[in-house]
Amino acid sequence: MLFKRVKYGFSILSEKNIVSFLDRVTDFKVGKEELAEYYAIYKELYGAIDVNYTATRIFYINFDKREFYSFFTEPGSYEKYMPCGWNGYDKAGEYDEYVPSEMKYW
């Protein structure tokens, strides 16, 4: 399964295994400031409409509250990878309202 390989052997991420997952992907970590720079460059090159469509936020996970917010507007679903006992919310395209301001890079 390609998606499982991309997630480094974790089929479902939860508060129980997130630290192990983050340890495995540490080489790919990008800080909020760097992500904001990439986002601004992309927006300048391709325009606001394109950046809002192609570089849109797909989901937000709150491990402390065990909440998964899906903002995905295309067919398909990340909700099937949500741990049992978590609350999931389908908020397609409504990311500005649900992502805390300290987490926003846009």
Ordered by start, the domain boundaries in the chain are: 30-103
Contact of 95 with 71, CB cutoff 8 Å: yes
- Read off the tokens for 99: 């992502």
The vertex-73 CA angle with 28 and 97, nearest 5°, equals 80
Question: Whole-prediction pTM value?
Answer: 0.70
The tens place of each residue's pLDDT in the chain, 106 residues long, gives 444 455 677 888 889 998 998 898 899 889 989 989 988 998 888 887 777 777 777 888 999 999 998 887 776 677 778 899 999 888 877 878 888 888 888 7
